[in-house]
Amino acid sequence: MTAPVVRRRLLLVEDDPQLSAMLLDLLTGEGFDVDTARDGQRGLHLGLSRSYDVAVLDRGLPAIEGLDVLGRWRARGVDIPVLVLSALGNPADRVEGLDAGAEDYLAKPFDLDELLARLRALVRRHREGAALLPVPGGLLDPQTHEVVAEGGGRIALSERECDLLETLARHPAQVFGRDTLLDLVFADAEDIGVVDTYVYYLRRKLGREVVATVRGVGYRLGRS
């Protein structure tokens, strides 16, 4: 049996439309599911509200400068590995980018094969060192789609159940509206009721406390 292809999620924040379109085609062909942003404000929002395996971040962005976006991600606990792309390529600029929280820095113009190799290395290192996410009653392992229960057993989740719980667990203090969760987790669905259905599935498997309802607003991760 052929092993399923694991699609890696990548955030591309680049304001140059031609470069963004070229990179989108390249990265999609490399096996990434790519979200794009053309300015720092949109990039900041996506990085704070969605989960990614890696991000490619330009420095010279409209609205919010790239390193400012990176600093705000890190201040909010977003730990995705980031490769900064920039026309500023002297040693001082590289040091500034790495000190701001980037895992890698590549000056423009760059070699496409080198970019892909660096991204593969970042994803590999991040996944090897990825921590389990605390959830009520145990720890979520996003790689295996399982919750490691406090008693030592493992509870298997479907891919959608895992995506929903991971979204909540990566932002444990945030309340998500149902429409936001529909966009983040169930982008191919139109009926907002699918969010409630999968909350029910999670509660049935893991207990009612795993997802808390905030009346009139939406859902957040429950508290143990």
- For every one of its 224 residues, what pLDDT tens digit does the chain have, with 9 covering 90 and above? 333 344 688 999 999 999 999 999 999 998 899 999 999 999 999 998 887 889 999 999 999 999 999 999 988 888 889 999 998 888 898 899 999 999 999 999 999 999 999 998 888 777 655 568 899 989 998 878 899 888 778 899 998 999 999 999 988 888 999 999 998 888 778 899 999 999 999 999 999 999 999 999 999 999 86
144: which 2 tokens?
Answer: 């295996």
Give me 173's structure tokens. 């203090």
Chain length of the chain: 224
Go through the domains of the chain in sequence order and give each one's CATH number.
8-128 (3.40.50.2300), 133-221 (1.10.10.10)
Give the CA dihedral 56, 62, 66, 68, nearest 10 degrees: -150
- Check residue 201 and report its DSSP letter: H
Query: Quick one: tokens of 212?
Result: 């808390």
3-state secondary structure (DSSP) of residue 133: strand
Cα–Cα dist 135/137, whole Å: 6
**Terminal-residue alpha carbon distance, the chain:** 40
